[in-house]
Structure 1
C-alpha cells in the first residue's frame, strides 16, 4: 500500500496534467481561430481587389478610347455622332 505522500503526489500530478491539457487545448483553439479569421480577411481582401480590377477594366477602355481618338462610341451619350462613328468603323 502506498503512503499518503505518494497518493498526494499522484493526484497532484493528475490535476496538474488536466489543468495543463485544458490550457494547451484552449491556446491551440485560439491560434486556429485567429488563423481562420486572418484567412477569411485575406479572402475578402482578394475579392475586393478583384472587384476593383474588374471595375477598372470595364470603365477604363471607354475613357482611353475616347481620349485617344476623340470619338464617342457610346450611343447613350448626348455628344454621340453617328456619322463620325460610321466613318471610323469604315
Structure 2
C-alpha cells in the first residue's frame, strides 16, 4: 500500500514538474506501480492475503470470547 501511495506522489510530482522528480525518466516514476502489482500477485498466489484475513478474524473471535469470560468473572486462559 505504501508503494501505491509513493507511486501516486511521484506521478503527481512528475506531472506537475516539481523538484528533481521532473528530470527523472517516467520508467523510474512508474516503477512503484509495477512493484505494487507484483506484490499483490505474489500475495494472492501464495495465500498471504487470505491467511492474514483469517488471523485477524481469529484474533477478533478470541478477544470477543475473552471479553465475555471476563464479564462472567471467569479468567480467560493464557495462550499456550
- TM-score (normalizing by structure 2): 0.37
Structure ranking higher on relative contact order (CA contacts 8 Å, 6+ apart)? 2
TM-score normalised to structure 1 length: 0.34
Higher Rg of the two aligned structures: 1
